[in-house]
Amino acid sequence: MTKQAAVSVETAKKAPVLPDAQTVTSVTHYTDRLFSFRVTRPQSLRFRSGEFVMIGLLGETGKPLLRAYSIASPSWDDELEFYSIKVQDGPLTSRLQHIKVGDQVIVRPKPVGTLVLDALLPAKRIYFIATGTGIAPFASLIRDPDLYERYEEVILIHTCRQVAELKYGADLVKALKDDPLIGEFAEKLTYYPTTTREKSPKMGRVTSLIEDGTLFKDLGLPALNPETDRVMICGSMGLNLDVKEICEAAGLTEGSNSKPAEFVLEKAFVG
């Protein structure tokens, strides 16, 4: 055996066997709590905009450490994008936040989820209500032409603690106008960002802004109505339950893949 061959056998032995490995193509940090990254797309992965997959890294024991992440990129994209929180003592995100271009991430190519257009009955208008990283599935949906073919109006509401936490969504919305595929539909999308712990043009929790009528007044729209409106919700457990209650009080019924109806919800990834 040549010296060269001996070295490569040694390297191969040390390299971890990573099932379903994809390569990181870019990483963007927004705050000390938030970042996004893109990876190559598994050839076998077909998904509907709004769905999530299990992704992760190899754990200390050599076993994959996986969590559910909404795919933030649209279904036509060559790559996959994810938007993540950084938790300093979180088993996965304490390490995931340090990934660099060229690193490998595990992506299990089995998409699932309820935040899909097929889980809702046709209507005029759709509201996307997100807090924090809950904007990820909507980042996918607002870049999908199918959304604009189904709805006349799309309203994306994003509540965060601080202004910097809105940047990921704000940049996406801004870029939409110049997107060759979506640009022509961009005028159908209304973006309504709010903050709760730092001064910004619109302050308050989305729930309070709905309940006191501010949201509808600002948008010049009528209150929620099951005849015309659909709602997708993605945030903390508290947010999901509170908005679910608001939807039900307005007469909207929860839908699913097997039984489409008027609103759907999913918990945003935390930890």
Contact set with ligand A2P (CB under 6 A): 131-132, 159-161, 196-197, 205-207, 236, 238-239, 242
Edge-to-edge strand list for the sheet holding 229-235 = 189-195, 153-160, 125-131, 229-235, 263-267
Output the six-digit token pair for 242: 């509170």
Asked whether the beta carbons of 233 and 80 are under 8 A apart, the reply is no
Looking at the Cβ atoms of 117 and 130, the one nearer to ligand A2P is 130
Looking at the Cβ atoms of 75 and 195, the one nearer to ligand A2P is 195
Looking at the Cβ atoms of 124 and 197, the one nearer to ligand A2P is 197
- Tell the smallest beta-carbon distance from residue 242 to ligand A2P (Å): 4
- Tell the smallest beta-carbon distance from residue 161 to ligand A2P (Å): 5
- Between CA 144 and CA 125, with CA 51 as vertex, the angle to 5 degrees is 50
- Tell the smallest beta-carbon distance from residue 207 to ligand A2P (Å): 4
SS3 (DSSP) at 258: coil
- Tell the smallest beta-carbon distance from residue 120 to ligand A2P (Å): 22
DSSP for 161-178, please give it: SSGGGGHHHHHHHHHHTT
Looking at the Cβ atoms of 104 and 207, the one nearer to ligand A2P is 207
Q: How many residues does the chain have?
A: 271
